[in-house]
Amino acid sequence: MYARSTTINAAPASIDAGVAQVRDEVMPMLMTMDGCIGLSMLVDRESGRCITTSAWQSEEAMRATNEALQPIREKIAADIGGSPMVQEWEIAVLHRDHRSTAGACVRATWVKVDPANLDRAIDVYKLASLPRLEDLAGFCSASLLVDRASGRAVSSVTYDSHETLDGSREAAASMRASTAKDAGAEMLDVGEFELTIAHLRVPELT
């Protein structure tokens, strides 16, 4: 399974319009494309950072749609104020305790490892991080997306509410530090987001 993420640093006042545009225009079109298995959208209303991620059954299906989707990305970026940054990923891990509901929030962590050690880092995430994440109050799901060429990866952990996201912050910070050490990973960024669209049919991958 593969994913394409598009990040736009939008004007905060335009975020709701952007969410509506993705939900009402982009998502119905995407779901008619061969190999598309869903879409999610994260927003940070303070910074304006918006991340829309589409999931695909294969790398070929994902890349076959790139040209058709480029003008749509450019239009949304122009409408909400920003320029799109596109990244393509392999979905290495996806684990759900239960599906998200309205009010869910996500903490995303971007890291980089030596590409030669990426499989080891994936194993650390599966064997060390996931069991600890499952013990956190409000844990909903977790995923790990990787770029094997660069060694970059992003972990997204979904919580039932903003309150449980807040409550997990200290434990999650400790977990990030120990996991990064065990995996030999360099921490690049951490962000907290509202999950505004969650329409994914990606099967369990652990």
pLDDT in tens, 161-175: 999 999 999 999 999
Distance of CA 171 to the CA centre of its chain: 20
Residue 68 near residue 42 (C-beta atoms within 8 A): no
pTM reported for the whole predicted model:
0.93
**Helix (H) or strand (E) segment spanning residue 153:** strand 152-159
Domain ranges for the chain: 2-200
pLDDT of residue 206 exceeding 70, the answer is: no
More confident residue, 203 or 70: 70
Distance of alpha carbon 91 from alpha carbon 68, whole angstroms: 22
Q: Could you tell me which of 55, 51, 40, 90 has the C-alpha nearest to residue 73?
A: 51
With cut-offs at 50, 70 and 90, classify the pLDDT of residue 66.
Answer: confident
- Can you tell me the distance from the alpha carbon of 56 to that of 176, in angstroms, rounded to the nearest whole number? 28
Give the per-residue pLDDT at 55.
96
| Residue 148, pLDDT above cutoff 70 | yes
The CATH code belonging to domain 2-200 is 3.30.70.100
Mean pLDDT of the residues in the chain:
93
Residue type, 173: A
